[in-house]
Structure 1
């Protein structure tokens, strides 16, 4: 891993426009990290009720697998 002085020296070697791009990228990474640290929302139990139906004979053996 680079230490802070190496990063600083490399940043100083860049033009001002590239330094601005690096700053934008760092801001993007900070926002991405903050977003990743938040726990995801879990769906509420039963929230998919009524969105699909199972056939009444779902558990009936299939004729294709008969002897």
Structure 2
């Protein structure tokens, strides 16, 4: 369960809260007991993609360029 703190405590102890977030914990900031914000750790960004790395793993069906059914076309036009 995430730690919930009020705005005043969050401002006063922001550095300590960030230390907790850096260890993977989540902190909820509340105003009058109502959650208004969430501090969460940044997820590690995926590595650089290599062109052609999915070669042979993606297939396109023969009807890829076939017209869409009317029901789907109408949904796009709304």
Same fold (TM over 0.5): no
Higher-helix-fraction structure: 1
Greater strand share, structure number: 2
Structure with higher Rg: it is 1
Greater RCO between the two (CA within 8 Å, min separation 6)? 2
TM-score range, shorter chain: 0.3 to 0.5
